[in-house]
Amino acid sequence: LLPILNYPDPRLRTLAKPVKEVTAEIKTLITDMIETMYDAQGIGLAASQVDRHIQLIVMDLSEDKDSPRVFINPKVTPLVEEKQPYEEGCLSVPEVYDSVERPNKVRIEALDENGEKIDEEVEGLLAVCIQHEMDHLNGVIFVDYLSRLKQTRARDKVRKVVKIREKQGEQ
């Protein structure tokens, strides 16, 4: 399992670089990220969150958690002007949930783990999730869209949750 960086860790603000070649090392990272995402009960994970600053996202929105998707060097283009709210969470901001508005339909252009082209129009949770993950690759965290007060509360909450998890880990 890979350690997930917690907000407000400044490393989460690093801009991810494009992947030049899908090496064996990157394939291992993809496997490790998918395992880490499932363990953390996430439906998406960006490489930035595990302190690897390359343009790589893994996602799995399936019921049985058995169909992971890999997006390398992704480019997301909104297909509608209208934005819709969604109650977002983030594995780097544990136990904090709040409403974020995003375009509900986007185009995803990327490469998959075999270097094959992906070019899809998606909507709903998949569109929300890919935009949330793209933000991570650009050093943006969903709490950035909230009020300063909510950002302060989020920082306090993460500090508390991490302390409890560290205590549990020690027992």
Ligand X SMILES: O=C(O)C[C@@H](Cc1ccccc1)[C@H](O)SCc1ccccc1
Q: Which residues bind ligand X (CB under 6 A)?
A: 42-46, 88-92, 128-129, 132-133, 136
> Judged by CB under 5 A, does residue 90 bind Zn ion?
yes
**Do residues 137 and 16 make contact, with C-beta atoms less than 8 angstroms apart?**
yes
Backbone angles phi, psi at 158, to 5 degrees: -65, -40
- 147/153 Cα distance (integer angstroms): 10
**Do residues 154 and 93 make contact, with C-beta atoms less than 8 angstroms apart?**
yes
Write the DSSP string, 103-126. Answer: ESEEEEEEE-TTS-EEEEEEETHH
Question: What's the closest the beta carbon of residue 128 comes to ligand X, in angstroms?
Answer: 5
> Judged by CB under 5 A, does residue 16 bind Zn ion?
no
The span of 10-18, 57-65, 82-90, 157-165 binding Zn ion (CB under 5 A) equals: 82-90
Question: What's the closest the beta carbon of residue 136 comes to Zn ion, in angstroms?
Answer: 6
| Active site (annotated) includes residue 63 | no
**Which tokens sit at 137?**
């690759």
Question: What's the closest the beta carbon of residue 59 comes to ligand X, in angstroms?
Answer: 8
Residue 96 or 116 having the CB closest to ligand X: 96
Residues that bind Zn ion (CB under 5 A): 90
Which residues carry out catalysis? 133
